[in-house]
Structure 1
């Protein structure tokens, strides 16, 4: 369906996410806003149903008015208020959207039954057209749920109208207005869905730029602060020790002076690629500045930390760097201690790095 619509519509439809992780991030970002919208809209809709029930409806018999009153006050409004309350509670979100999608189906079945009891159904039929548009644009459902719900609601309106409306011209107009409400609603929902995903992807890009080093693609100092705060809190709470490595490219100034800054940039990029490919997926690589990188290695002890340092050092030493041929690094490493501040942890690793450099470079010092 999306491929067909893409040929018809003058704008680009929302595309799928590049990977499952991005989709999960979008859902996490999208759900709170939808919760607020669903909670507010269902509460307002319940209120409007109550007001409608209390209005004088001279076009309906007393028996039908009593039926409307009871149905709206004791069934429709309570269902909507329940959904509104559940939407307000985060833990119930997974059941709220399906429940909200089913509500218009029940509402349109009620609408069809009441319309069949009316001698003059014209003042009442508008509710059905509004309901379809409400599902798509106002309700806060995801597009998939809205499409399914609106399709079922529209089908009920079409079938019930066929039996209620004896005049073919009137039924033809009925079909036309359902088509209008469905098409406008669907288009509005698509545009809304597209704008939400575009805003999310823009925020993701901005966040990526804010925490990523442009040259190497590694994280930058801004991200290091948040990761350190997170790991320090995790270590204190769950006793999950982590280590911090500061890695310095040996004689990097000589590389720039001999081969030029363009080659120096290539060395930085290649070093970042090797380090990124050699650490675990849960570890974090940061460009600390200049020719220095930081690795935060989670859930390590003194032995595994030293093993990781040596693994990274040998990976760099054994790889080729084009015109430079051989590049080596010095590494200073330390484990987090419960009484450490961020500055104390970084300072201890930095002192270990200077010891490694003073001992001749291309070695690891762990303290």
Structure 2
């Protein structure tokens, strides 16, 4: 741990004694698991698909995770005002780039979600919409709730922004991303103290949209059908993942000894939890699950003493999307819900996802820092 005196008034010193170090430690532990899992799964996947180097995914992920640590620390230095500004800029940029995927993005498996950029490779802009939208929507709704006059403007702006994002994600299509952003928005609306009748109406509308998506998108219908009736269609990946968990048992078969990474196409990404279960066993899986639960629950507990409505709403949205994404990935691997291509935060391979999650957790740490009354905000 860092040896900084409480008398240190530098930016780093004030940050160290005000940031939630327990949450920071839990996030860094997840990053550590990310290094272990990319070393365990990525070389086998690279070899199977005929990549130029067996270690190509490993070296990329090492860079992504190092960048994620830097992003978490840097963003957590911001004041709430700085967080709002950064989120607004990030949301505008991500929105423009997400729209660009529909025009110049390559079509992969029937979807246009990525941009091929020089030097950076493949970028999924919608990943960056998640944390930035959570903060911007919370800002608009907080302003609407505290405004003495024309508070409805904040609601109109928040709903309009959500509507724009929903249309773009539907066009890609990326229903999983839309589901996470919708859940984030609903959580913010609920915590803001809106009338329970309106919450019920919004919830019913969201359920109706989910049913509509089932009938509109064949891939959604196929996944739900295969979940409800495993005998229908191809359940190869889920079946192999469940076999991996069974083979791993309590203690696992040992690092590098698993076979699931040799046969699953997305063993280093969407099904990395199955690799973890096979090679390290139930105990380590529960430890990883506990780390995710700790980050979410500790964040919510810290909000109990918070008076700033914007901080409460933004942190709630960020924690909702972080916990939901982890749940969807792990539950999909265990066949508890229909399969959805969603990464396990910091543990799965992926550049856009890792950096976007790091931005979100940096926002969370920045917003939940202890601030002394009467002291100007850093970076304001």
Structure 1-normalised TM-score?
0.24
Higher RCO structure, 1 or 2 (CA under 8 Å, sep 6+): 2
Could you say which structure has the higher strand fraction?
Answer: 1
Q: How does the TM-score come out when normalised to structure 2?
A: 0.24
Larger Rg: 1
